[in-house]
Amino acid sequence: MLKKIPTTAVPLSIFEILKGFKSFFGNKSYIEEFEYSFARYMGSSHAFSFNCCTASIYVFLKAIKKLSNRQEVVIPAYTVPTLVLPIRKAGLKPVLCESSLDNFTMDFECLPDVINDNTLCVLPIYHFGFPYEIDLPLKLASEKEFFILEDTAQAPGAMLDGKKVGTLGDAGCFSLCRGKNFSTFSGGMLVTNSDELANFVREERNLLPRQKFSFEITSPFILTLYSLVTRPIIYGSFYKLISPFKHTTVHESFESKQYSNFQAIIGLSLLNRLDEFNGIRLKKGMALYEALKDNEHIILPRVTKNSTPVFNHLPVVFKEIKTMERVQAELWDRGIDTGRMYLKPVHHLYDLGYDKQKELFPKALYIAERLITIPSHPYLDNKSIEIIINVFKRL
């Protein structure tokens, strides 16, 4: 089958890429315009751009270190493992909190047992674009005087009780890297309503090196390839050439740089279409969710009351690993790719000092071993949605 639905895609047009060439003429900083527009979209006072979301986390942690001598940063045991890197690079200690089978991210009921007088920051993470209440960590942060950084990498534009997630804590970080709801192939954003934090973040961000001119020159070609290879007919036809470029290894390091002017122009264009993209994702994601939610072989994340998820993917946890493998193989044969995301909990990939003889985070391990992601992006057509539903019906 030539046509295959990729795990993720952003409908980035060649016309939008061509707009980026404006950055090569004149001295205008489109970065500042993009940051201003992003802040307005989020309802925040300040927004700062970076070359990746990891860099935004690193800079935020460096900034809050100036306000506290605490050393521990709490993250879920099941999450993107590279979160360990900015924490360590900032000279801090990653601490894990058990994950929840209710939402596949941090189990807040376990949080009071994890935080202490050395807790500097807690990172609630909206995995797969699903918002959920963070009232408890906010309450604990107020009582114990630590910071809340919302990791909204996969959930730009998601709503909770009429507010955009990423604006509920001290700051929120977002990813513009490939695989996200709106992507300039690489990039990250940080928003905050705190003038004090904004001053520290700005100071740290401005110390970062700028992107090299060679990066600006190659960006149009990279973005053009990215735009093409996520289209189903090209993805299927050239999968053997594309698959080696998928991330399959654990990162050992990252670079922190400023965002590029070329990408900022693309970002401005895509930001104007983000609500459109999210609306499509919500419609397709909820069609799948409603059809699969009563299947006894799987677990889906809870959709929080008064929330609007943006379905970066639809995550599905299988009760049996063999069933998961069978579904993945059948969907692939029917022209739909799926992802495995984080194959192990964080402490299985990095040595964080936890006892290796006893599994301290069994729910995180359960999720990691059994979760696949199903596409919900705009290139997912109605026929493919039908195929997915029918494959699960036959379980």
Task: Collect all residues with Cβ–Cβ distance below 8 Å to 218 and sequence separation of at least 6.
Answer: none
- What's the pLDDT at 221? 93
pLDDT tens across 12-25, in order? 888 889 888 888 88
The answer to whether position 246 is within a domain reads no
The DSSP-derived string for 214-235 is: HHHHHHHHHHHHHHHHTSHHHH
pLDDT confidence tier of residue 247, bands split at 50, 70 and 90: low
pLDDT of res. 331? 97
Task: From 368, 381, 375, 290, select the one nearest 105 (Cα to Cα).
Answer: 368
Report the pLDDT value the prediction gives residue 25, as an integer from 0 to 100: 82
318-365 confidence digits (pLDDT tens): 999 999 999 999 999 999 999 998 999 999 999 999 987 889 999 999
Q: What is the pLDDT of residue 28?
A: 80
Asked whether the predicted pLDDT for residue 200 surpasses 90, the reply is yes
User: What pLDDT does 27 receive?
Assistant: 79
For residue 237, tell me if it sits in a domain. no
Record the pTM: 0.96
What is the CATH classification number for the domain harbouring 323?
3.90.1150.10
Residue 217 burial class via C-beta count within 10 angstroms: exposed 0-12, middle 13-18, buried 19 and up: exposed
> 164, 190, 205 — which closes off a domain?
205
What mean pLDDT do residues 154-167 have?
97
Cα end-to-end span (Å), the chain: 23
CA dihedral 226, 230, 235, 240 (to 10 degrees): 50
341 alpha-carbon distance from chain centroid: 11
Residue 103's closest CA among 295, 324, 315?
315
Q: In 189-345, which ranges are continuous DSSP H helix? A: 195-205, 213-229, 232-237, 239-242, 261-271, 274-292, 321-333
Measure the CA–CA gap between 328 and 376, rounded to whole angstroms.
16
Same-domain check for residues 161 and 25: yes
Mean pLDDT, rounded, for 151-171: 97
Check whether residue 179 and residue 284 sit in a common domain. Answer: no
DSSP of 89-123, one letter per residue?
HTT-EEEEE-B-TTTSSB-GGGGGGT--TTEEEE-
Residue 207 has pLDDT above 80, yes or no: yes
Q: Are residues 197 and 289 in the same domain?
A: no
In this structure, the answer to whether residues 42 and 180 fall within a common structural domain is: yes
Please tell me the predicted confidence (pLDDT) of residue 5.
96
Q: Are residues 50 and 194 in the same domain?
A: yes
Name the token pair of 238.
Answer: 């050239």
Judgement on whether residues 304 and 188 belong to the same structural domain of the protein: no
pLDDT in tens, 121-153: 999 999 999 999 999 999 999 999 999 999 999
Cβ atoms within 10 Å of 17's Cβ, excluding its own: 22
CATH number, domain of 22, equals 3.40.640.10
Q: Are strands 46-50 and 72-76 parallel, antiparallel or unpaired?
A: unpaired
- Between the alpha carbon of residue 147 and those of residues 75, 235, 283, the distances in Å are 13, 42, 34
Residue type, 230: T
- Where among 150, 181, 205 does a domain terminate? 205
Q: What is the mean pLDDT of the chain?
A: 94
| Residue where a domain stops, chosen among 175, 205, 235 | 205
SS3 content of the chain, % helix, strand, coil (to 5): 45, 15, 40
Encode pLDDT of 363-388 as tens digits: 999 999 999 999 999 999 999 999 99
Number of domains in the chain: 2
Return the structure tokens found at 44. Answer: 């925040």
Give the model's pLDDT for residue 243. Answer: 78
> What gap in Å lies between CA 105 and CA 93, rounded to an integer?
20
**How confident is the model at residue 23, as a pLDDT?**
84
Of 2 and 206, the one with more pLDDT: 206
Mean pLDDT of 193-212: 96
Residues 32 and 125 placed together within one structural domain of the fold: yes
- Looking at the predicted structure, is the pLDDT value of residue 26 above 90? no
Q: Which residue type does 378 have?
A: P
Catalytic machinery residues: 180
Is a pLDDT exceeding 90 seen at residue 244? no
Residue 19 belongs to domain spanning: 14-205
- 96 and 189, same domain (yes or no): yes
Instruction: Give the position of tokens 């026929």.
Output: 383
Per-residue pLDDT of 270-304, as tens digits, reads 999 999 999 999 999 999 999 999 999 999 999 99
Q: Is residue 167 part of a domain?
A: yes
* Residue 315: pLDDT band with limits 50, 70, 90: very high
User: 200 in a domain, yes or no?
Assistant: yes
Mean pLDDT of the 57-82 span: 97
- Residue 249 pLDDT: 66
Residue 248 confidence (pLDDT) above 70:
no
